[in-house]
Amino acid sequence: MSQDPLVASLKYYGVSPWEIEVLYGLLNSMFKVEQEPDAKQDEDFATMVDVSFPLEFSDAFFKWFGPMRWDKVKAILKEMKRRRGSGKTMKVHMRFAGKPNIKFVVDLDDHRWFNMAIEKIDFILELLQYQLDPQKIPQNITDAVYEFEQETGRWRLRTAFSYDTRYVFLKNEWKLVT
């Protein structure tokens, strides 16, 4: 009896063949990878990398994926930003399947802040149970989007989706966006 391999998605534009080969190789060692060069969609950024993991953002994922492999993924993303310099040169989306789906968006101008954001993604594991507490967030959340806040040097849950509804966290409360 064969089990279908887990499928990760890798979308990108403005990435060198070497960079995409390294990232693809890291993912391909654990998943079947659907690779898709994207047409440039965001005029503000020269490079975009969008990685979708078919697993939940959890301790189990990081144990299974392996700390060395995760460190290499972070290293290639930081090296890509370094090679492009400061400014709106690179945007990264890292998505994890689950209930809810978790998405991290890294689009910082300064490469030091960019590196810090990449390094701190896995720190959110410790806070996830508190930030996604059903009594603290809107009901029936399907997607949670984290953005890195330079003022505090921390990841913040900024946007949540519940089917056709979008919520934004502003001034310490969730606001419905129409």
Question: Where do the H-state alpha helices sit in 56-122?
Answer: 59-65, 67-84, 111-120
pLDDT for the residue numbered 2: 47
* Whether residue 87 has pLDDT greater than 90: no
Task: Print burial letters for 15-29: b (CB count within 10 Å at least 16), e (below 16).
Answer: beeebbebbeebbee
pLDDT at 163: 86
pLDDT score recorded for residue 92: 96
Give ∠ CA 111-113-117 in degrees, rounded to 5. Answer: 115
Per residue in 61-70, pLDDT tens?
999 999 999 9
Q: Is residue 1 part of a domain?
A: no
- The answer, yes or no, to whether residue 85 has pLDDT greater than 90, is no
> How many domains are there within the chain?
1
The predicted pLDDT at position 5 comes to 86
> Is 2 within the bounds of a domain?
no
Q: What is the reported pLDDT for 1?
A: 40
* More confident call, 53 vs 43: 53
Between residues 38 and 56, which one has the greater pLDDT? Answer: 56
Within 13 A of 117's CA, how many CA atoms are on the CB side?
Answer: 27
Tell me the pLDDT tens digit for each residue of 6-44. Answer: 999 999 999 999 999 999 999 999 999 999 887 667 778
Mean pLDDT of the chain: 92
d(CA 157, CA 54): 21
2 or 166: whose pLDDT is higher? 166
The domain of 148 spans 7-177
